[in-house]
Structure formats: structure tokens, C-alpha cells
């Protein structure tokens, strides 16, 4: 599949594997997809450039050299505003639906913000839809995109453990330079360069978190831990340190590499990518000697 085809095809996910044997480290990018499914049918008056600000634009490109280093890279096949792969299946915002949800429901800080499994509003508060979603419509999104994505995450983790006795995983994200009104529980917060999240030490060995944070600080970056992003569903599911499966969420401030409004790469992109490549090389060495 060519890059152009990858950006226009509708697929549950895109998986970039190393040509040789994979190491114990793998990555996933659940929010960088720029393909908008034909059945999205978002509000007619909502400008696509505004909707696209929900993406982790270019995160997949920042880590594009990972497979050449022996590190698999998994990318979601739908945008976050359509279905958020980093939410739990029970995080249903029932106010978005035309009928009661038949399955489990869980109110969380994100569903209260309108940012559950299917988003109701953008970070800036604009309504995504001028209609209600049907229950069948949301279930189809789950079956088509969410379930296959988590199945592939599980396969990558299983393969790493089978080959190396241990799996290390980084869940790759970006964050705006300033938290918007409906983005987090900390609107207006000026974000650091990076946030590492391990759900307060529960999803990986603390030595892995320490190593990621330490390497980034050595590069001169401002790094916070577990604030304001602890890691959500993906690291919770993948991270089972008691079973030699270690998972960490890594947030990058978009101001480091892109124009946040124009959605174009900035002059900082290449330098950041070089530093991420160096980070990947060091983490792969760490994982192989763990």
C-alpha cells in the first residue's frame, strides 16, 4: 500500500512491521488517522479544518522510522472524533444517541465533557453532529474499528512476549500547547513539552517510566509525569507489568513540530523526529537488556 493509498483507504488499522524480526518494543498511534469514513456525517456547517484539530496530526510521521529500527507501529484506521480508540467500551455519552444504549455504561470525566467513545463536541465546544447517532451506527463503528484495533494490540504484545519474554509498549499521542475548554479537566493549562503517563505506576515497571522521562530531560525537554494525562484505556489494557507487559503513554506538545491551526509541519519537525529516533534506539536497548 502506498502512502497515498494509506491516507485514503478505510481500514480498521494500519500496521507497519519491521522487515526483519521485531524487538520487544512496539508503538501505537490511536489518534493520527486523517481518513474520514463516508458514514461519519458530521454537521454540515462544521468546517473540516476545525474538526481535524481533534487529530494527533503527524504523530504517525514522527514515529515513521520505528519499523526500520525493529519496532512495529500500529495506527488506528479512523479519526478520534469518529470513534476514540483510547476510551473504554462503556464510556458511552447517551445524550448523543437516539435510543438507550443496551450495553454497560460508565460516566467518566471524559463523557461529562462530551468526549466519550464517540465524541459529541470538539475541544473548543462546537457540536460535531446536527443529528443523533443510532445505536446500530455506534455499534457498527465499534465492530469495524475498535474491536480489530484492540485485537491487533494484543497480538503485538503476545508476539513480543513469545519472542523475548517481555513486551514494552508506547502509546503515542500529541497535545495542544494549551488545554482547551472541553479537552481536559484543566482548561487553560499550558502544557510542557512531554507528558509521560503510567496510570500512577500501575501499567509498567517504574524503571521504564524513569528511563523515558530521563532520556527526554537529557535532551533538554520539559517533562511532566501523570499530569494532566495519566494514560487511559490502551495502556490500562496493554500494561500488565505482573505479566511482563509494560505500557506507557507519551504525549508530545504540538508546538514543538507543527502549526496547530494550519495543521502544517513547522521547522521543528525534523529535529524532534531525530530525537524521537534516538529515544526509540535507547528504549529498544533498554527493553532487550531488561
Domain membership of residue 144 as a residue range: 3-85+135-288
The average pLDDT across 11-18 equals 94
Q: Is residue 101 part of a domain?
A: no
Average pLDDT for residues 63-90, to the nearest whole number?
A: 97
Q: Read off the pLDDT of each residue in 183-195 and give the average, rounded to a whole number.
A: 88
**Could you count the other beta carbons within 10 Å of the beta carbon of residue 43?**
13
C-beta separation of 78 from 33 below 8 A: yes
- pLDDT attached to residue 214: 98
247: three-class secondary structure by DSSP: strand
Residue 89, number of CB atoms within 10 A of its CB = 15
Question: Does 272 map to a domain?
Answer: yes
Domain-embedded: residue 100: no
Within 10 angstroms of residue 173's Cβ, the number of other Cβ atoms is 24
Residue 270, all three cell numbers: 525534523
Residue 282 forms part of a structural domain: yes
Say what the pLDDT of residue 184 is. 74
Let me know if residue 24 belongs to a domain. yes
* 149 within domain boundaries: yes
Residue 119 lies in a domain: no
Q: Which of 66, 92, 222, 194 is nearest to 146 (CA)?
A: 92
What residues contact residue 109 under an 8 Å CB cut-off, 6+ apart? 185
CATH number at residue 34: 3.40.630.40
Q: What predicted TM-score, i.e. pTM, was given to this entire model?
A: 0.95
CA distances from 286 to 52, 63, 95, 212, 241 (A): 36, 18, 46, 10, 16
In this predicted structure, the answer to whether residue 9 has a pLDDT above a threshold of 60 is no
**Structural domains of the chain, count:** 1
Residue 79 reports pLDDT greater than 70: yes
The three cell numbers of residue 261 are: 491551526
In a domain, 107, yes or no: no
Amino acid at each position: 500500500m502506498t502512502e497515498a493509498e494509506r491516507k485514503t483507504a478505510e481500514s480498521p488499522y494500519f500496521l507497519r512491521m519491521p522487515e526483519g524480526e521485531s524487538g520487544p518494543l512496539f508503538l501505537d498511534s490511536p489518534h493520527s488517522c486523517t481518513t474520514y469514513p463516508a458514514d461519519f456525517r458530521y454537521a454540515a456547517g462544521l468546517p473540516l479544518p476545525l474538526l481535524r484539530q481533534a487529530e494527533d496530526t503527524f504523530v504517525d510521521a514522527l514515529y515513521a522510522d520505528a519499523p526500520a529500527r525493529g519496532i512495529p507501529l500500529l495506527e488506528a484506521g479512523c479519526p478520534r472524533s469518529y470513534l476514540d480508540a483510547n476510551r473504554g467500551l462503556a464510556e458511552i455519552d447517551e445524550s448523543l444517541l437516539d435510543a438507550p444504549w443496551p450495553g454497560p455504561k460508565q460516566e467518566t470525566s471524559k463523557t461529562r465533557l462530551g468526549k466519550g467513545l464517540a465524541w459529541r463536541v470538539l475541544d473548543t465546544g462546537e457540536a460535531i453532529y446536527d443529528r443523533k447517532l443510532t445505536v446500530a451506527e455506534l455499534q457498527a463503528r465499534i465492530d469495524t474499528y475498535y474491536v480489530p484495533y484492540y485485537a491487533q494490540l494484543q497480538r503485538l504484545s503476545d508476539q513480543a512476549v513469545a519472542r523475548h519474554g517481555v513486551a514494552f509498549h508506547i502509546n503515542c499521542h500529541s497535545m495542544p500547547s494549551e488545554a482547551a475548554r472541553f479537552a481536559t479537566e484543566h482548561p487553560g493549562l499550558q502544557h510542557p513539552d512531554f507528558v509521560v503517563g503510567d496510570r500512577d505506576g500501575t501499567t509498567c515497571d517504574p524503571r521504564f517510566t524513569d528511563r523515558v522521562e530521563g532520556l527526554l530531560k537529557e535532551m533538554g525537554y520539559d517533562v511532566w509525569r501523570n499530569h494532566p494525562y495519566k494514560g487511559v484505556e490502551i495502556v490500562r489494557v496493554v500494561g500488565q507489568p505482573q505479566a511482563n507487559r509494560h505500557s506507557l503513554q507519551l504525549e508530545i506538545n504540538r508546538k514543538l513540530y507543527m502549526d496547530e491551526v494550519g495543521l502544517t509541519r513547522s521547522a521543528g519537525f525534523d529535529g524532534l523526529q531525530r530525537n524521537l529516533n534516538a529515544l526509540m534506539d535507547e528504549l529498544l536497548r533498554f527493553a532487550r537488556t531488561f
